[in-house]
Structure 1
């Protein structure tokens, strides 16, 4: 297959996913065009129609991103349709499973080797590990607050004691998770990396410790 034909096939694959997703969402072409305009990029309805019908054989990257957001799906789902195609030609002459193509695109191709420090793959892995640390801290913190809240609203002594015991356990876990998250973020900064913003409920993780009352 020529590179030109491969490029056209990529555009056709994206166009088919746009059409199928738009139809499933019950959107007309004019409605999709308006959603794109609402997101700051005016895409004429004729552009969408020509793309879906094959009269246009290329996709602008900016249009690709905005259309995906307007359709409410990850851009990768337009490019590599997981679940609808067993294989895809990710690059000219390189047909792989669709899931393998997704992993390649997102930098998650399985590997037995540790990526070199500072490599693009290592950076992606670091930020994914940070996401996991945030999720763990958020979950344990929420569970601790929930059990503590429930303990404060029950009049059953035995249930209250049980909830308080569970709250104490979750609070200890939340303390460890949040401390680990703070350490992780400090290490990222020490490498010159900027950690993502924390959710509001975990904002305290980045706040400096106040020891002003100790010893008073």
Structure 2
């Protein structure tokens, strides 16, 4: 039986604290430095063990703000405290909905749809049409932002290769690959605008693709 994410955070908090060789006092001091002085020794005990607090309530849940502070104090991404990749096979991604840990993490970060357990012994996990449609819609624009990063990096790498090229042919090839990134970036930025999202900054050499008169050259795709 999978545990709720709040239980997972408690378990992973303890794991990474021990990996870092920190006792609870030291972790509490780090949390205070990072803006959460209320995460005291006693609070950490309550999170890790579920011990009753002064109000008689067992506290194992962690706020989003606390999750971020704990992750920074432990030197891991916040998502690592929620999804124990390499330490568990499944996790309860949402109440009553278990999923493979890696797939659940990818859903959480917007990289994939959330799978559901099936009765198929050959394919025990599958994605429903609704969940796939929700992910495909990319309402938050995360997939588009990732593609923007990828295309911009392709442009930077190609420009750097062009500068280092030792032959005209190698330079022209690199410059052509850099030029191919511009229409792809333009296309992603159109989608981001349509979603009402802020556009990532561009280097000055690419600022022209945001101009009203810009027309992307797709001839290289033919």
Between the aligned partners of 1:120 and 1:52, the Cα distance in structure 2 is 33
Query: Deviation digits for residues 5-62 of structure 1, max 9, x if unmatched?
Result: 965xx43321121121122223343333333333323222321233223323322332
Q: Which residue, out of 28, 32, 57, partners 1:33?
A: 28
| Structure 2: distance between partners of 1:203 and 1:57 | 49
Cα deviation 1:81-139 (Å, max 9, x = unaligned):
111111223344433322233244334216585966xx675135743133223323323
Give unmatched runs, 5+ long, in structure 1. 152-159, 212-216
1:175 and 2:185 correspond: no
- Unaligned 5+ runs, structure 2: 52-58, 116-126, 214-222
Does residue 9 of structure 2 align to residue 14 of structure 1? yes
1:53/1:113 CA distance change after superposition, 3 Å: closer
| The structure with more helix, counted as a fraction of residues | 1
- List 4+ stretches of structure 1 deviating above 6 A: none
User: What is the TM-score with the length of structure 2 in the denominator?
Assistant: 0.67
DSSP 3-state at the match of 2:138: helix
In the alignment, the residues of structure 2 paired with residue 92 and residue 125 of structure 1 have an alpha-carbon distance, to the nearest angstrom, of 23
- 1:24 — aligned with what? 19
| Superposition pairs of residues 158-173 of structure 1, within 5 angstroms | 160-161=166-167, 164-173=168-177
Question: What is the CA–CA distance in structure 2 between the aligned matches of 1:192 and 1:89, rounded to whole Å?
Answer: 31
Q: Which moved more, 1:24-33 or 1:164-173?
A: 24-33
User: Cα RMSD between the aligned structures?
Assistant: 3.3
Give the alignment partner of residue 134 of structure 1, picking from 149, 153, 156: 149
TM-score computed with the length of structure 1 as normaliser: 0.69
The aligned counterpart of 2:40 is 44
Larger radius of gyration between Structure 1 and Structure 2: 1
Cα gap change, 1:134/1:70 in structure 2, threshold over 3 Å: closer, same or farther?
same
